[in-house]
A and B are shown apart, each in its own frame.
Chain A
Amino acid sequence: MSALLSVRDLVVNFETEDGVVHAVEGISYDVEAGKTLGIVGESGSGKTVGTLTIMGLTRANNTKISGQALFDGSDLLSASEQQMRAIRGDQISMIFQDPLSSLHPFFTIGAQLIEAIQAHRSVSKAAARDRAAELLTMVGLSDASDRLSQYPHEFSGGMRQRVMIAMALSNDPRLLIADEPTTALDVTVQAQILELIADLQRLSGTAMIIITHDLGVVAEVADQIAVMYAGRIVEQAPVAELFANPQHPYTRGLLASIPRLDRDRSSGLEPIAGRPPSLVAPPTGCAFHPRCARAFGRCSAELPPLEPAAPASAHLVACLLDPAARSRPA
């Protein structure tokens, strides 16, 4: 099956006064129709910049972009701004972290939804309004036709995020990009939103990229997971495989450093020493080596390629350690 979105060797550099920021350093992944890719990483790992670039939202004079992002066979990176406008909100749409700042405070929810629909479909305002009400009902808001004349401040955080989801789905996109969609929400509301996204995706067959720092959230919704560190994918695997058999020392470190409700209370957490590297002057070799307890001579000199963890495995890992040595305690 060919992928709906196929990203190849994506590189994004920003030229700034402080030097060149190597935000994304050559990432490749595929998103299949109807499937969910989870991209996990900490601040500055390039997880957001990578997807914003695919959407054509990082284009500026000081940005250097290379690589390919084939959406249904055509390259989004070389598409004109006009072509991208036609694609954004129609074929590909996005949900952002903060639903309050993503909605315009001066316009009613209805006006904003109708605008999103009419931007891509030549339908009458009445038809767009009906569609908007239908979308609000679909995302679980009651009294949808009354809600259309309300303003964003009249909605709670969870309701606003539902509106954002409704807007993102208004034109039946083929790919939905959700950037930390539940980070600003309370845990019980987060659970509702994750469930809603999963349900809607099952119904519509939309492919999804979910970007998050929360390993619990990706375990919940993703089919495939890519772990990013300092602009590169360091590990990529189907969700069950990644959590059952994490290979990269960074992934293992992340899992060991969070307290877990599904395990017995541990006596101590094992933090990852140090802190995420500068993207202006990233470490040589493997970017994780200065923080890695298992680093050896080659790690500071050679860049590890992203390779199958075992022959013909779908589990990819970028680490120079001997596969047998990775799972042994340091």
Chain B
Amino acid sequence: MSAADPLIEVRDLQMHFPLQRGIIFQRQYGAVRAVDGVSFSVGRGETFGLVGESGCGKSTTGRLLLRLLEPTGGQLFFEGEEITHLGRRQLAPLRRDAQMVFQDPYSSLNPRKTVGSIIAEPFVIHRLARSADERRNEVRDLMDRVGLNPEHYNRYPHQFSGGQRQRIGVARAIALKPKLLVADEPVSALDVSIQAQIINLLADLQRDLGLTLVFIAHDLSVVRHMCDRIAVMYLGKIVELAASEQCFAAPRHPYTGALLASVPVPDPSLRAIDRRPALTGDVPSPSAPPPGCRFHPRCGKAQALCASDEPQLKAQDNGSLAACHFPLNAAEAAAMLPRRSS
């Protein structure tokens, strides 16, 4: 399933971080296969979700999309042009068009700079809005746009709360009117009552500015709320790629089903303890992934084939793509969902 008018396209993307031993005579003895062959595309104006547990490669994928990392394999296209191995100077236009919002609003803002100069920095770096007056006006507009009081231009980050700091990070990210925004866990460091404010802000900006948003999160309910399409990752691979509603109403990969079955929902009558076939064990190490299907040691439906043959993403009965030899059927999927059967 690929987007009609892709802004970014990823083909068999790999990011292997080498594991080295020795101080003087370094030799590589293995690699952490953080991202191990993922392919997808994201259409203009689309909100694309990357979900998975820690170590699944979702953040690394996000960083690759922005070329903050150079992939060790595969290809990466932005607006149809290959950017896989471009150098620093050639990447300058991408640096304007693609921006990031980080998880931790405390460590992603320089504590010694005023909010005004933090938000103005993109204009300085890219030599836009050259006069100080011009910059100040731009920054005030941006602060107003993200729901900050423009009069707080001269304050420092510590004078703001977590939610306000995240707004500063968002203002900085949209300053140059980027085409692509990658938000890596943008709300997970915030208090529950503040999360909704930032989610709504991102959704509004996405709609008003026509942004393409790649939303990375571990919280399935937030991802479902935000995204048009979702890729579920496990140990460096995409195991399911589907429209958001499809993915949450009718998961086909057993891992997606298990994730959904594990989410505690604020309704005591739907206690997951009564619902789930509990997933046992932990996620294996990405430096030594299991052979065949990477999920097979934890999968309730695994058979001999799963340990030897790696399944490829293929279309399922409901149009989703899932990489599984024995995908869930409708009844199995329904039993795992945290919903009241109607």
Contact = CB atoms under 8 A, between A and B. Distances in A.
Interface of A: 42-43, 156-159, 186-192, 194-195, 198, 213-217, 219-220, 239-240, 243, 253-255, 257-262, 265-266, 268-273, 275-276, 291
A243 B266 contact: yes
B260 A261 contact: yes
26 contacts: A156-B283, A186-B283, A187-B53, A187-B220, A188-B279, A190-B264, A195-B273, A214-B192, A216-B264, A219-B265, A240-B269, A243-B266, A258-B192, A258-B221, A258-B266, A259-B225, A260-B221, A261-B338, A262-B265, A262-B267, A265-B245, A269-B196, A269-B199, A270-B196, A275-B163, A276-B193
A216 B271 CA distance: 9
A198 B273 CA distance: 9
A319 to B, nearest CB: 17
Interface string B161-185: 1011000000000000000000000
Given A159-B282, A266-B225, A219 B267 contact: yes
A188 B196 contact: no
A303 to B, nearest CB: 21
A260 B266 contact: yes
Interface in B96-136: none
B342 to A, nearest CB: 11
A216 B273 CA distance: 12
Nearest to A225: B268
Contacts of B192: 42, 213-215, 254, 257-258
Contact of A258 (B161, B195, B262): B195
Nearest to A269: B196
Given A186-B283, A192-B278, A265 B224 contact: yes
B193 A220 contact: no
Given A42-B192, A240-B269, A216 B225 contact: no
B340 interface: yes
Contacts, number: 144
A316 to B, nearest CB: 18
A271 B201 CA distance: 11
B263 interface: yes
A259 B218 contact: no
Contact of A216 (B163, B164, B266, B339): B266
Contacts of A215: 192, 266
B72 interface: no
Nearest to A45: B191
Interface residues of B, number: 50
B92 interface: no
A183 B293 CA distance: 29
A257 B196 contact: yes
Contact of A259 (B197, B222, B268, B337): B222
B248 A276 contact: no
A12 B35 CA distance: 49
A186 B200 CA distance: 25
Contact of B54 (A42, A186, A260, A275): A186
Contacts of A189: 53, 282
Contacts of B161: 275
A273 B53 CA distance: 31
Contacts of A43: 191
A303 B279 CA distance: 47
Residue picked from A187, A217, A243, A253, most chain B C-beta under 10 Å: A187
Nearest to B201: A271
A214 B264 contact: yes
Contacts of B224: 259, 261, 265
Contacts of B305: none
Contacts of B279: 188, 191-192
